[in-house]
Amino acid sequence: MWWLFRNASSGLALTGPRIVLRPPRARDADAWVALRRQSRDFLKPWEPTWPPDGASRAAFRRRHAQIRDEWRSNTGYGFLIFDHVQGVLVGGITLSNIRYGVSRTASLGYWTGAPFARQGYMTEAVACILNHAFGQLDLHRVEAACLPHNAASRGLLLKCGFREEGLARGYLKIDGRWQDHALFAILREDERPGGSR
């Protein structure tokens, strides 16, 4: 069962069977820095080029400030993902570029730390955030993109009910190069695993 709650000190939290998604807090800096450093080689092929201080407390502060600004303006919702039994940080997930009006759309992005890859954490996190997007945020469509050769990400999106819609040439600058991306989307009315709709 998926549920959510509001807490004055931490904002919104989304909870699944094994995970809690919540906005980053200043005290998460050490865990974030450690996991990003540990996962650098694992993440590098799939992400924009890291700045020299990309896995530092300064980088965390920049990301934390950006997430706070997006929450305030209702243009994005960034969460850290924690294993709620062990209390450890396992990754992050974001709804960004939220557009209302006639589109009611957002973009999905995510990352998993190397020690936690392929253990089902991100499948749970995507299910949580889709419930939030189509429920509380009243969106109609969530889009995602991944490198065509990223089999793990493609498999995750398909497993979560996304449909592949095409290929965008030179879509994002990843690992220092403009690269093509496979485009995926899911609509509110699409069937999702577990019977969610």
Please report whether residue 35 resides in a domain. Answer: yes
Please report whether residue 100 resides in a domain. Answer: yes
Q: What's the CATH number where 69 sits?
A: 3.40.630.30
Of residues 55 and 81, more confidence is placed in 81
Please report whether residue 161 resides in a domain. Answer: no
Q: How confident is the model at residue 194 (pLDDT cuts 50, 70, 90)?
A: low
Instruction: Check pLDDT > 90 for residue 51.
Output: no
CA–CA distance, 197 with 191 (Å, rounded to integer) = 6
The pLDDT assigned to 52 comes to: 85
pTM above 0.85, yes or no: yes
CA–CA distance, 33 with 9 (Å, rounded to integer) = 22
- Number of folded domains in the chain? 1
| pLDDT tens digits along 151-190 | 999 999 999 999 999 999 999 999 889 999 999 999 999 9
Please report whether residue 192 resides in a domain. Answer: no
Please report whether residue 183 resides in a domain. Answer: no
Instruction: Check pLDDT > 60 for residue 4.
Output: no
Its domain, for residue 59, covers 3-139
The pLDDT assigned to 9 comes to: 37
Please report whether residue 102 resides in a domain. Answer: yes
